[in-house]
A = this chain, B = another copy of it.
Amino acid sequence: MSKSIKLAILGLGTVGTGVVHLINDNLDELKRRSGRDITITEVGTRRQRDDIDPAITQNSDLMAVAASNNVDIVIELIGGTTFAKDVILQAINNGKHVVTANKALLAEHGNEIFAAAEANNVHVAYEAAVAGGIPIIKVMREALAANKIDWLAGIINGTGNFIMTEMRDKGRPFADVLSEAQELGYAEADPTFDVEGIDAAHKLALLASIAFGIPLQFDKVYCEGITDITLQDVSYAEELGYRIKHVGFAVRRDGDGDKAGIELRVHPTLIPQDALLANVNGVKNAVLVNSHPLGQTLYYGDGAGAGATASAVMADVMDLVRVLGSDVAAKHVPHLSFQPEQLSDTPILRAEQMTSGYYLRVHAFDNPGVLADITRILSDAGINIDAILQKPAHKAGQVPVIILTLPVVESQMNLAIEKIENLETITDKVVRIRLDELT
């Protein structure tokens, strides 16, 4: 066991540079806590950097760094799902522990990568991959290790949450806020991953696996973005005591036959205004976990940024440092929280099998019978109405009717909406957004 722990950092972008800064700033704390010296011995960077300590070897051949004899832990911060995968497997095959922030790679190829790590007796740590600096991976794998997790709900995409917050606070439409987010550097030039929910779906896939002990199944996450959310709906929701947030849900449904399974879904949803999760604003992230016997706990903080991500990366490094060289280093906490041979094949439910409340916005000709028709259709479908808001007509003869329902299986709601849209008095498609009381 080497006395000084040797780190390699692959990729010196914002996060990689943040890790270098953290080690410079907090080296004394790192040593006082771990009782070990910690040194960056190599960095893998395509462009030579002159702002890096000359004692650190810079190498543009990242595959060589990942195999270097002068490295104990490889920190992968290059991103992407192709070369990053090769370089991580290279490190694993050379007996290095790996720390990564790469949510897309793990969500899509984690089963293969974790199996390779287990076969090579090394650990792949990924705290920074979900919710940035919030230690949700550690919390779920270790702090909640004695609990049975019922569900979790997370605001796990900062860009999306910034947009939803600005729309509500300032009454600005989606496209406007998105442009600002891009100027501020919160959103990428191509914002698809953020606003279509794909980034959140990557993170949800990881959270769900460690919550329920199931293999990673990113391809089965139901994914809906925020591009269709209008100011009108934001404002009606507020009027009814709710707030629209983009939330990732992983829910275990017990029951018989095809009702039993796991819901993995990422979508805009109405949540009660006074829920803490509804008051997570701007680029902040938070994850609410409901487990037995603990009940609800919430974890809040910065979901992105150099400092928050570097904090999570180095927490993983500290965990490894503390066990490095011992016989439990690779395996003391399983990658997906459950022992690999204990992962279960619990089915993932299809969208139409999922249960949630609904917000419906129906546009109808202002006709005395229309409300009766709509409520009869819902009632016939066994759907309970929780609240109705009928606004004055805003176009000639047309009134928006807002209906909040109690939880219902989506397939039932689909049938009811089809019937409502077939009414002669209904002028437009019914707008629907899910609703969750978080109880």
Asked if A26 and B146 make an inter-chain contact with CB atoms under 8 angstroms apart, the answer reads yes
Inter-chain contacts of A315 with B (CB < 8 A): 142-146
Asked if B148 and A138 make an inter-chain contact with CB atoms under 8 angstroms apart, the answer reads no
Inter-chain contacts of A48 with B (CB < 8 A): none
Question: What is the bound-complex CA distance between A310 and B333, given in angstroms?
Answer: 20
Query: Contacts A25-B292, A295-B307, A301-B294 given: A319-B32 contact, CB under 8 Å?
Result: no
What number of A residues sit within 8 Å (CB to CB) of B?
A: 66
Most buried by B among A34, A143, A291, A311: A143
Question: What is the bound-complex CA distance between A298 and B134, given in angstroms?
Answer: 9
Asked if B147 and A142 make an inter-chain contact with CB atoms under 8 angstroms apart, the answer reads no
Query: Contacts A147-B26, A292-B307, A328-B326 given: A300-B300 contact, CB under 8 Å?
Result: yes
Answer yes or no: A392 CB below 8 A from chain B CBs: no
Inter-chain contacts of A318 with B (CB < 8 A): 142, 145-146
Asked if B148 and A25 make an inter-chain contact with CB atoms under 8 angstroms apart, the answer reads yes
Q: Which of A170-178, A198-206, A334-342 contacts B (4 or more CB under 8 A)?
A: A334-342
Query: Contacts A139-B139, A315-B143 given: A293-B22 contact, CB under 8 Å?
Result: yes
Q: Closest Cβ of chain B: how far from A8's Cβ, in Å?
A: 17
Question: What is the bound-complex CA distance between A133 and B298, given in angstroms?
Answer: 11
Q: Closest Cβ of chain B: how far from A398's Cβ, in Å?
A: 37
Residues A24-51 near B (CB distance < 8 A):
25-26, 29-35
Asked if A146 and B296 make an inter-chain contact with CB atoms under 8 angstroms apart, the answer reads no
Binary contact track A117-145/B, C-beta < 8 Å → 1, others 0:
00000000001000001110011001111
Most buried by B among A29, A213, A296, A298: A29
Residues A148-174 near B (CB distance < 8 A):
148
Q: Closest Cβ of chain B: how far from A286's Cβ, in Å?
A: 8
Q: Closest Cβ of chain B: how far from A249's Cβ, in Å?
A: 19
Question: What is the bound-complex CA distance between A315 and B139, given in angstroms?
Answer: 10
Asked if A319 and B29 make an inter-chain contact with CB atoms under 8 angstroms apart, the answer reads no
Inter-chain contacts of A322 with B (CB < 8 A): 328, 332-333
Asked if B279 and A294 make an inter-chain contact with CB atoms under 8 angstroms apart, the answer reads no
Inter-chain contacts of A297 with B (CB < 8 A): 133-135, 299-302
Binary contact track A191-220/B, C-beta < 8 Å → 1, others 0:
000000000000000000000010000000
Answer yes or no: A314 CB below 8 A from chain B CBs: yes
Inter-chain contacts of A34 with B (CB < 8 A): 145, 339
Question: What is the bound-complex CA distance between A34 and B332, given in angstroms?
Answer: 9
Most buried by B among A293, A301, A306: A293
Asked if B298 and A311 make an inter-chain contact with CB atoms under 8 angstroms apart, the answer reads no
Answer yes or no: A323 CB below 8 A from chain B CBs: yes
| Nearest opposing residue in chain B for A297, CB measure | B301
Answer yes or no: A74 CB below 8 A from chain B CBs: no
Answer yes or no: A308 CB below 8 A from chain B CBs: yes
Question: What is the bound-complex CA distance between A133 and B143, given in angstroms?
Answer: 9
Residues A329-377 near B (CB distance < 8 A):
332-334, 337-339, 342
Inter-chain contacts of A293 with B (CB < 8 A): 18, 21-22, 25-26, 306-308, 310-311
| Nearest opposing residue in chain B for A135, CB measure | B143
Question: What is the bound-complex CA distance between A148 and B319, given in angstroms?
Answer: 16
Question: What is the bound-complex CA distance between A31 and B317, given in angstroms?
Answer: 27
Question: What is the bound-complex CA distance between A139 and B300, given in angstroms?
Answer: 12
Question: What is the bound-complex CA distance between A143 and B141, given in angstroms?
Answer: 12
Asked if B328 and A323 make an inter-chain contact with CB atoms under 8 angstroms apart, the answer reads yes
Inter-chain contacts of A338 with B (CB < 8 A): 32-33
Question: What is the bound-complex CA distance between A29 and B334, given in angstroms?
Answer: 13
Asked if B339 and A32 make an inter-chain contact with CB atoms under 8 angstroms apart, the answer reads yes
Q: Closest Cβ of chain B: how far from A285's Cβ, in Å?
A: 10
Of the A-B pairs whose beta carbons lie under 8 Å apart in the complex, a sample of 13, sorted by A's number, is: A29-B147, A33-B337, A34-B339, A135-B142, A279-B279, A292-B307, A293-B306, A293-B307, A294-B308, A296-B302, A297-B300, A299-B300, A326-B332
6 other A-B residue contacts (CB within 8 Å) besides A25-B148, A142-B319: A25-B292, A26-B148, A292-B307, A293-B306, A295-B302, A322-B333
Which 8 A-B residue pairings sit nearest by Cβ, starting from the closest? A293-B307, A135-B143, A146-B314, A297-B301, A294-B311, A32-B342, A145-B318, A298-B300
